[in-house]
């Protein structure tokens, strides 16, 4: 497959990264030790399995995780990496022999850059040279965010309520720049990143950050990319703080949760949606959606509306009836900062079962350039229990209501005995054109849905099966709604 070759070529430039990562997780009783950690800071790269002498030492290292420092015997190692891609690992995309690691050293190797433009490379990050006292934290900061690559940025570290000082930043750097902030009291701070000198609109604002929990430790602070539209709306970057054994993400204080709503109740007609939550700053329910009809998605199939983090109760009423006409009240639904959600209004209000309900699902919208990610939702109760087939475009066809190839061999369903209201996990697939077919149980009935969809590299899609509107309205056929991060 073409994308496999692209990925192999990209990783060849990163052998030092992978070599260091592969040795994590290995130790012995030998006193001649060295310490190594690897950090996956490439936002569009897949997870990797890291091998030492043919055995997996660090499985599934993903963005933006760290292995933490691991003590190993000093010496030389044969190392290799498997890229975790659809259809199985690409084994041995990197194989490097006799990599030396020196006794008594601490190595932090960061995978930096993007797979998409083949800029991924290794970076050996330095720790702060300071030794922190018991009430101090020693900080080193690394600019690893390709989203602001090419822009020199200024970093201001102040008291939580302080304005940005006019005396200049604490330090400035460009992509792959690193600064040693030294040992500072382990207290409360505010970190702001300013691009292009625009101090009135910082590119990143941490809000109040309490470093007291890191007292006596060394802290490596990485600026990395945010990965979904909701976090990007607040800031193109986030900070991740790494200790020897743990990590913590510091999201821009302006970040909210992201939400979108899909109207999939065929007999509900146009409705309005109200929300009750302390997060909205009102004791009364507030109207979130003035009107939405079947089968519309708001604010759009590839966008979200920002909402404050909190616990919500939603009411759904016929359009124009107000909160007093509510025909559905949800249980409490919790929305978390930086997370994106899709709420699917499905089922029937008055004409049968299943009854109307909200089906919430969390959307993980990080683009991984070596794959497309897809999850499937059964939102068409009229179809009953179905089998879902997702096959490369043109390789299979429907013959006598069965999905078969040119030799008459039956396709294996991606989802077998799929029932209404079920929402799958994400399934990674190679990018490309796919035929998506929904066939009644056992494959012996009608192919209710037969559509082709482009699942592009880096795309994250939610594919929802929907049904016709009862009573001869529009739409008058079974079909798919495809939500995407692109």
Is the pLDDT confidence value at 30 over 60? no
Give me the mean pLDDT over the 324-350 stretch.
Answer: 95
What does the alpha-carbon distance between residue 402 and residue 411 come to, in Å, rounded to a whole number?
Answer: 8
Is the pLDDT confidence value at 61 over 80? yes
Give me the mean pLDDT over the 221-233 stretch.
Answer: 97
- Residue 442 has a pLDDT of 52
Is the pLDDT confidence value at 182 over 70? yes
- Residue 176 has a pLDDT of 95
pLDDT, tens digit (0-9, with 9 covering 90-100), for 2-18: 223 333 333 333 333 33
More confident position, 270 or 32: 270
Give me the mean pLDDT over the 425-439 stretch.
Answer: 94
Domains, the chain, ranges and CATH?
A: 2-124 (no CATH), 136-250 (2.60.40), 256-363 (2.60.40.1120), 365-486 (2.60.40)
* Residue 398 confidence class, pLDDT cut points 50, 70, 90: confident
Torsion over CA: 431, 435, 438, 441 (sign): negative
- Residue 94 has a pLDDT of 64
- Residue 31 has a pLDDT of 63
- Residue 102 has a pLDDT of 85
Give me the mean pLDDT over the 296-310 stretch.
Answer: 96
* Residue 276 confidence class, pLDDT cut points 50, 70, 90: very high
* Residue 434 confidence class, pLDDT cut points 50, 70, 90: very high
Of all helices (H) and strands (E), which one includes residue 397? strand 397-399
Range with top average pLDDT, 1-10, 40-49, 233-242, 281-290: 233-242
Across the chain, mean pLDDT equals 88
Is the pLDDT confidence value at 195 over 60? yes
SS3 437: strand
- Residue 401 has a pLDDT of 75
Which residues neighbour 337 within 8 Å (Cβ) at sequence distance 6 or greater? 251, 255, 256, 257, 309
Tokens of 168: 């200049």
pLDDT, tens digit (0-9, with 9 covering 90-100), for 463-474: 999 999 876 778
Is the pLDDT confidence value at 374 over 90? yes
What does the alpha-carbon distance between residue 224 and residue 175 come to, in Å, rounded to a whole number?
Answer: 10
* Residue 1 confidence class, pLDDT cut points 50, 70, 90: very low
Across 147-254, where does the E strand assignment appear? 153-158, 171-173, 178-185, 188-195, 204-210, 218-225, 237-242, 247-250
Is the pLDDT confidence value at 28 over 50? no
- Judge whether 85 and 428 are in contact, CB under 8 Å: yes
What does the alpha-carbon distance between residue 359 and residue 338 come to, in Å, rounded to a whole number?
Answer: 20
pLDDT, tens digit (0-9, with 9 covering 90-100), for 132-181: 999 999 999 999 999 998 878 999 999 999 999 988 999 999 999 999 99
- Residue 26 has a pLDDT of 45
Nearest to 116 by CA among 366, 370, 484: 370
Give me the mean pLDDT over the 249-259 stretch.
Answer: 97
- Judge whether 120 and 176 are in contact, CB under 8 Å: no
* Residue 446 confidence class, pLDDT cut points 50, 70, 90: low
Give me the mean pLDDT over the 282-295 stretch.
Answer: 93
Cα-based angle 356, 445, 455 (whole degrees, multiple of 5): 70
* Residue 121 confidence class, pLDDT cut points 50, 70, 90: confident
């Amino acid at each position: 497959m073409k994308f496999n070759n692209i990925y192999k070529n990209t990783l060849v430039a990163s052998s030092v990264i992978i070599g260091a990562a592969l040795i994590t997780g290995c130790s012995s009783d030998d006193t001649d030790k060295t310490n190594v950690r690897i950090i996956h800071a490439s936002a569009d790269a897949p997870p990797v399995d890291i091998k030492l002498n043919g055995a997996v030492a660090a499985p599934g290292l993903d963005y933006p995780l760290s292995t933490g420092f691991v003590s190993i015997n000093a010496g030389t190692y044969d190392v290799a990496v498997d890229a975790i891609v659809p259809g199985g690992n690409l084994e041995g995309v990197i194989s490097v022999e006799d990599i030396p690691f020196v006794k008594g050293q601490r190595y932090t190797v960061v995978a930096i850059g993007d797979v998409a433009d083949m800029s991924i490379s290794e970076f050996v990050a330095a720790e702060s040279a300071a030794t922190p006292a018991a009430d101090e934290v020693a900080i080193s900061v690394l600019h690893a965010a390709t989203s602001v690559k090419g822009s020199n940025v200024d970093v201001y570290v102040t008291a939580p309520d302080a304005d940005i000082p006019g005396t200049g930043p604490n330090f400035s750097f460009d992509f792959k720049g690193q600064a040693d902030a030294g040992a500072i009291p382990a207290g409360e701070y505010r970190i702001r990143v300013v691009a292009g000198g625009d101090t009135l609109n910082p590119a990143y604002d941490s809000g109040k950050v309490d470093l007291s929990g890191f007292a006596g430790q060394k802290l490596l602070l990485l600026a990395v990319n945010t990965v979904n539209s909701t976090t990007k709306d607040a800031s193109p970057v986030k900070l991740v703080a790494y200790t020897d054994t743990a990590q913590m993400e510091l999201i821009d204080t302006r970040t909210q949760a992201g939400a979108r709503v899909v109207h999939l109740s065929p007999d509900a007609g146009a409705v309005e949606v109200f929300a009750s939550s302390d997060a909205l700053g009102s004791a009364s329910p507030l109207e979130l959606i003035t009107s939405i009809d079947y089968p519309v998605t708001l604010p759009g199939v590839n966008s979200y509306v920002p909402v404050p983090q909190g616990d919500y109760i939603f009411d759904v009423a016929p359009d124009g009836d107000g909160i007093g006409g509510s025909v559905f009240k949800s249980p409490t639904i919790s929305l978390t900062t930086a997370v994106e959600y899709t709420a699917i209004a499905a089922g029937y209000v008055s004409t049968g079962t299943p009854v109307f309900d909200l089906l919430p699902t969390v959307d993980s919208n990080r683009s991984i350039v070596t794959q497309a990610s897809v999850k499937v939702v059964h939102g068409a109760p009229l179809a009953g229990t179905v089998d879902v087939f997702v096959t490369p475009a043109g390789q299979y066809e429907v013959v006598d209501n069965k999905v078969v190839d040119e030799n008459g061999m039956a396709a294996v369903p991606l989802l077998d005995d799929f029932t209404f209201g079920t929402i799958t996990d994400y399934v990674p697939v190679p990018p490309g054109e796919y035929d998506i077919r929904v066939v009644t149980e056992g494959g012996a009935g009608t192919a209710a849905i037969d559509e082709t969809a482009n699942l592009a590299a880096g795309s994250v899609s939610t594919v929802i099966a929907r049904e016709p509107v009862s009573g001869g309205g529009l739409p008058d056929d079974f079909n798919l709604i495809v939500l995407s991060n692109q």
